[in-house]
Amino acid sequence: MSQTILLLSGPNLNLLGDREPEVYGTDTLDDHAATAAATAERHGLAIEHHQSNDEAAIIDHIHQARGRCAAIIINPGAFTHYSWAIHDALAAFEGPVVELHLSNPNAREPWRHTSVVSPVATGTIVGFGGHGYELAVEAVARLLAG
């Protein structure tokens, strides 16, 4: 059975394609999930994708990945900048965690410069738009291959 990567998308990412296209591009979240799935398949991996605008639902998905998923790729949206609860949930996950952002938050408003997720991420990919989904899966595949 192929190993599963949990891909988690946080608040407002369901609006991608429509939402501030000058910042986030015109591809939809389904497009990005498809990119991740195609990249995973090339490595014999599978993607399980969930999007939620609800912090508790995201935390529940992280908990349910424990002992079941090989890795987590997460774009926590604005929760990135203040959700210590997501930080703690990720800290309790045993596998690699990739933090992913379409834009480069460090080049935007000062309040986006802090990530409370980065300290518990194996690595972070920011600013490459949709290509970041491919890069994130490639990074996970390399880590899982040891």
Residue 36 binds ligand DQA, judged by CB under 6 A: no
Instruction: Report the residue from 4, 103, 118, 122 that binds ligand DQA according to the rule CB under 6 A.
Output: 103
DSSP labels, the chain: --EEEEEEE-TTGGGTTTS-HHHH-S--HHHHHHHHHHHHHHTTEEEEEEE-S-HHHHHHHHHHHTTT-SEEEEE-GGGGGT-HHHHHHHHT--S-EEEEESS-GGGS-GGGS--SSGGG-SEEEES-TTHHHHHHHHHHHHHHH-
Using the minimum distance from each CB to ligand DQA, give the nearer residue, 3 or 53.
53
Residue 112 binds ligand DQA, judged by CB under 6 A: yes
Instruction: Report the residue from 32, 61, 87, 101 that binds ligand DQA according to the rule CB under 6 A.
Output: 101
Residue 49 binds ligand DQA, judged by CB under 6 A: no
Instruction: Report the residue from 75, 93, 98, 121 that binds ligand DQA according to the rule CB under 6 A.
Output: 75
Only segment of 45-53, 60-68, 72-80, 88-96 that touches ligand DQA (CB under 6 A): 72-80
Question: Tokens 């609860």 identify what position?
Answer: 85
Interface residues with ligand DQA (CB under 6 A) are: 12, 75, 77-78, 80, 101-103, 105, 112
